[in-house]
Structure 1
């Protein structure tokens, strides 16, 4: 049985961590699996891996200590496939390819070098392009990410593979709340999320209420409102079905896992028009620009035509089922051809 090593910078709850957790569960009977991350956290206690290594120094932009620790683990474990998520992890894991032969796969959960590079964007984009030369596959979780990889970063087309994020199905939403609309936000309360805009919008509306699941450094900076309830971080949150609409307002995203979980429960979606979010929307919700006015208009549209959007959400909820993608991941990791089709939104 071949051995996969997942390398991810942080063990805290997040989209990339959820992806790794789900991969270890999906493929637990197909590979021996190891995780390398910074320290104990949500991921280290929520996975199906056979072994976990902690490398605290992986959090540094570049640490020689972290690099050699990771390289030694890969050699010690005789790793066949190394799958890295997040920028730091991707840097260390892909440099290790120069010293230890293995199949190297980097997962882009939204190109931080593009969205968050700031004045150093050109430098970080250049680094990503060079790292791609000794990466076997760049796995993108959305068509938008794949297009950016080709046109902005300049990664060779033959190295890029798209498998859209998917999740294990959530309990199904069946009924709308009476006389009011219950919105749900699930995410880390930090940049690039724009919960401030969503709160401002809800505060100006009648019969619309927002529940916020999550925590983070911006928690105390949001405006207080009687229409907004903060319930903190809930690990493995699975109560999407209790709400009417899932909302995610953000300055940048890959293909957000929380939105996928909500979609799998049959909830209409209200998402910022960034990253791969447009790939989750047909007749099951709306995309918005990040202004309070646009958010208010979109919420009212869903509220006034709720049956239409909920029907659309019910019709496509199974597309987000991770079980349909098992063979595609398996053959990608092994370097074989795909032999089973997966569902699409087309």
Structure 2
């Protein structure tokens, strides 16, 4: 009997936002499709929803508290040496990293440790969206430097493919477009029984996802329509700021922050519309999950989002960070039952045709094996 191939996924946070759920879904589904062929492990910086789910499915994880999002020479060096020691001890066949700085540390540690195959998934390059020149230069240098320790780079959309080759100077043979995929049997439409119009955003409440843009847009809509309700499924740095704004402006009856919810597949079909106002993305899992449940989507016009959503087909794109434009696009769907129905059907059809997890996982396994 062949020995199971050992695969280490390196994550930063123990959350269950899109980046972590991509890893968790892969582990769950590949282990089901290829029992005993792969032995998965995960590294992150602490315990949380991700590690809770890993415990349920008996996947080992290793904690490195020094892994931080912000640059910290002391913590970064310490996390690098801890990771090298762990990788050498476990003798992994493949190391698969995620996110910018953690991806750099993880790929460097893997190469120093002699891992034969080191791969990285880009969930949206951060340097093009950096808000100042210094940040742009730092993020660019990290991504450029990390290519020397990368055997294969997975990107989610054509824009990031072009950036990897033209800006970061990757060899074309190393870069592969592998879109995110979801379980279309788990995420499926259901009959709606509620009154009014329900809008949902799923994602981490932090700067990248730009949730306040939806709050401002909702505030405009609620001045005209009282039967619109907006839920945020997620948590993060901006939660208190958002809640204070909702309380101060008497919006908390119509706009709710629900926190992280594991069974989001059971909740999504109960909504009428999905919104994602992000400032940058790779290919949001949340959009695919919502569309698979038959929800039209209104999303910011950025790479990743605009690869999935097309005006008047399965939703609308709106001008990035423009709450007024977002408000008007939501209103168009709110006012037209026929438009919402047409977009709903198309949304489901596109996901089933192009973005199932079976397609995605087969592509990943192909590159793991070759």
- State TM-score, norm by structure 1: 0.90
Q: Select the residue among 111, 122, 131 that pairs with 2:125.
A: 111
Contact residue 71 and residue 100 of structure 1 kept, 8 A? no
Distance in 1 separating the partners of 2:45 and 2:7? 18
In structure 2, the gaps of 5 or more residues are none
| Aligned match of 2:204 | 188
Q: Select the residue among 22, 27, 30 that pairs with 1:24.
A: 27
Pairing of 1:83-162 with structure 2 (within 5 A):
83-96=96-109, 97-116=111-130, 118-120=132-134, 121-162=136-177
Distance in 1 separating the partners of 2:138 and 2:255? 41
Distance in 1 separating the partners of 2:168 and 2:193? 45
| Aligned match of 2:307 | 279
Report whether the alignment pairs 1:317 with 2:351.
yes
| Aligned match of 1:342 | none
Q: Select the residue among 259, 264, 267 that pairs with 1:237.
A: 264
| Deviation (angstroms), 1:71 | 1.1
Report whether the alignment pairs 1:298 with 2:298.
no
| Deviation (angstroms), 1:162 | 1.0
- Aligned-residue RMSD, C-alpha: 2.0
Contact residue 190 and residue 293 of structure 2 kept, 8 A? no
| Aligned match of 1:56 | 65
Report whether the alignment pairs 1:333 with 2:368.
yes
In terms of mean alpha carbon deviation, does 271-280 or 95-104 score higher?
95-104
Pairing of 1:1-80 with structure 2 (within 5 A):
1-28=4-31, 29=35, 30-47=37-54, 48=57, 50-59=59-68, 61=71, 62=73, 63-80=76-93
Report whether the alignment pairs 1:288 with 2:318.
yes
Contact residue 205 and residue 211 of structure 2 kept, 8 A? yes
The 3 A distance-change label for structure 1 pair 295 and 176 is farther
In structure 1, the gaps of 5 or more residues are 336-346
| Aligned match of 1:338 | none
Distance in 2 separating the partners of 1:155 and 1:317? 30
| Aligned match of 2:341 | 307
Higher percent of residues as helix: 2
Distance in 1 separating the partners of 2:26 and 2:264? 18
| Deviation (angstroms), 1:241 | 0.3
Contact residue 190 and residue 270 of structure 2 kept, 8 A? no
